[in-house]
Chains A and B, each alone.
Chain A
Amino acid sequence: MSDHASGPRAFADPVADITDMFVFPSPEEPSTLVLVMDVFPFAGTSALFSDAVDYRFRVRPAAIALGGTGPAFAFGEKEQVFSCRFAAPSERDGDGALSQVGSCTTPNGTRVSFQVNDEQGGRADGIRVFAGVRMDPFFFDGVKALQTIITRKLAFEVRGTSTMFHQNVLSIVAQLDVPTMLGVEGPMFAVVGETITTGSLRARLERYGRPEVKNFLLLPKDFDVVNRDIELRDLYNQEDAFQLSAAYGSAYRARMSANLAFWDSLDGNTDWPLDEHGAHPLTEFLLADAMVVDVSKPYAEDSYLEIERTVLRGVPHLSCGGRSLNDDAIDTFMTLLVNGGEGPRVSDGVDQATVPASRMFPYLSSPERNPPAPKAPAIVAR
């Protein structure tokens, strides 16, 4: 699943577990950029944000790097941080229901406050923010993906079943006026979502650049002949996405290259030959783990990895890149891994979320409050 439970630490405390991130020019207001971070997989409707976590987006200018199979992008040094924090909840007068207030601070010092679960969100000059429980927009047949890894054969069916159908998450939606908030930089930006502690020493709990990097490419250990017994995802989560430390770099590279080679093998062809050191051509590309968007291009529903793919082909990109809420991003990703994007589309058989996202703020669908009638548990083996 996109980044749900992406490591023991995330599993231990879902309130800091980033499940997803989406970055797209608003279809509603084209001069704005929308940043979405989801946390807390399988959240009940009473879920609230932690008062000890800074939920933040880090944005840096990005430029296309030239040549080779290294990182596709050069990230600028100037960083803009949009930081959202939440107070402990209080009981509302009258009905006694819990009420939580949050605020988001922008790089220029603007602070916007909002009530959690208020669909109107909060507004300040150049920014609008919503936070609250929404239906999980992610769609993917995670069970069949697991089966693919275990059996080493593509196990997806024509009609798949999304593991996340009718499930909820906590979402933060920040809509930025590009000229006001991001200035004259751009038009390409790299975005990373993070949860970090709020203490004087800031510890990174989770980070997110692209979907499935951790659960596809770092979780499976069987293909990695270098570090077969190490769980790398917690370590990877603690890394600065814009400046990967050298300490564990070799371990990440070995694991990623091994898993990328596995995915490439699934159609019986080798579309991504490894180099003489066993490095997969996409490893450096994906280790630069940020979501890149071009704000000069209009909203597109299916532009995930478009910029990266055009870099690989050496041609200019035509879309905004990033990732919209309705984008079938995992099909795009699997197709790139399995056949280099040159063959038939590799699909999990799930093409949309339970309820597709709207084109209006806050974009994500209302939470599932009345799930389908409980049935007898149909438990399947892990």
Chain B
Amino acid sequence: MARCGNATPAGDARGGEQPVTAGFLAMVNLQAQIDGRERYVTSGPRPAVSDEAELIELVAMRGHILGRIVDYEWALCRAEQLASNLPANDVAFLARARARGRMHRFNEALEDLDRAQRLGSDPSVVNAERAGIFQATGRYEPALAFYEAAAERRADFCPVAALATLYAERGDILAAERLFRQSRDRYRGVSPFPPAQLELQWGRMWQGQGNLHRALTRFQAAVRLVPAYAPAEGHLAEVEAALGDGGTAIARLFRLTASSDDPEYPAALARTLNEVGRLEEAVGWRDKAAVRYDEVVARHPEAFADHAAEFWLGIGGDPHRALQLATLNIGVRHTARARELVVRASAY
């Protein structure tokens, strides 16, 4: 979870919610940060590699919040250029590792991290990045060891949030629930992004457990914090539809298809329209999602194999293609979810 802003003297935890910047205002300021940093990088007196790396992270952050693949692609492209132009600079390789990790190019990202460390990056920073990749690829033990050590040193928002998410992925729901609460209560910043990200992960845990009402509460909290938060809106729509509120879900997904270029949302819209009997509209959105999945899988197969497999397995109606993608996905990350996806795809 990037940009935690969570420095808290040990033992200075606070309970309950505290005001954070309105999500809408925070988005305006995220754009203002990007504009200012871009101006500095392109025309400032002495832009440093760290300025370029900062710009890359800000644009990727916008991509995450708004569900804009184009931002991730831009960030990857700039990071590739940076590392290519500066083969002896650790910051450049750290930036490329992050960008590649976001696109699920985990092995290449790990190589970049090794190189960044050899070139002088702070080992604790590099190890934090490694832990994120280990977690994403299902190597929970080394990730857990890192997060526990970090939380031991300083049990504030960021390391506790990381631990909570890891426990949730491992299926230790009781421990995860306790850690999610602890993390939320220890947040001391005013940016709404970190707590919104926490609520999203928390909601995903309950959604995965089939507890839709708890998931709904968490996704609603995330959207209250940042109304434009596309992943939270997407999950919220899924839960609303599953709870029988297809109309609200469809309205939400229509908005998302306008603001995001991620095929996840036209696919979800097609699925939901299909479920409520609006079959003709569903076909139209299914076709749009199919075209877009083909585009993004062709460009970034590792990043989209998982969701594309789900799509072809479901509303996309092509289990053979789903199996190919699920197989590709399990080669990228050997998680329980990836295994389960292969099993489901193989069943056809």
Contact = CB atoms under 8 A, between A and B. Distances in A.
Interface stretch (A5-13, A29-37, A75-83, A320-328): A5-13
Contacts of B49: 379-382
A247 B191 CA distance: 28
Interface in B303-347: none
Contacts of A371: 39, 43
Contacts of B35: 44-46
Contacts of B36: 41-44, 47, 167-168
* Of listed A98, A143, A198, A379, residue having the most chain B CB within 10 A: A379
A3 to B, nearest CB: 16
A68 interface: no
B189 to A, nearest CB: 6
Contacts of A92: none
Q: Do most interface residues of chain A lie in helix, strand or loop, or is the interface mixed?
A: loop
Contacts of A89: 24-25, 28
Contact of A51 (B22, B41, B43, B44): B22
Contacts of B50: 382
Interface residues of A, number: 53
Contacts of A241: none
Contacts of B19: 51-52, 197-199
Interface string A101-121: 000000000000000000000
Interface stretch (B3-11, B66-74, B201-209, B263-271): B3-11
A235 B188 CA distance: 13
A42 B190 contact: no
B33 A42 contact: yes
A42 B40 contact: yes
A377 B52 contact: yes
A53 B5 contact: no
Contacts of B6: 9, 12
Contact of B46 (A8, A53, A372, A380): A380
B28 A166 contact: no
Contacts of B86: 379, 381
A45 B32 CA distance: 7
Contacts of A373: 43
Contacts of A15: 21, 29, 190-191
Interface stretch (A157-165, A177-185, A262-270, A340-348): A157-165
A143 B47 contact: no
A8 B7 contact: yes
Contacts of B31: 44, 46
Interface in B96-145: none
B220 to A, nearest CB: 19
B25 A201 contact: no
B286 interface: no
Contact of B190 (A205, A378, A379): A205
A47 B29 contact: yes
Given A14-B33, A44-B34, A375 B43 contact: yes
Given A375-B43, A381-B49, A197 B18 contact: yes
Contact of A12 (B42, B45, B47, B191): B191
Contacts of A143: 46, 48
Given A15-B21, A43-B32, A371-B39, A379 B3 contact: no
23 contacts: A7-B7, A13-B3, A13-B191, A15-B29, A15-B190, A42-B33, A44-B34, A44-B36, A48-B32, A51-B19, A51-B25, A52-B19, A89-B24, A143-B48, A161-B46, A166-B43, A234-B7, A238-B9, A374-B43, A379-B47, A379-B48, A379-B49, A382-B48
Given A46-B35, A47-B32, A143-B46, 6 more contacts: A15-B190, A51-B25, A98-B28, A201-B18, A205-B189, A238-B7
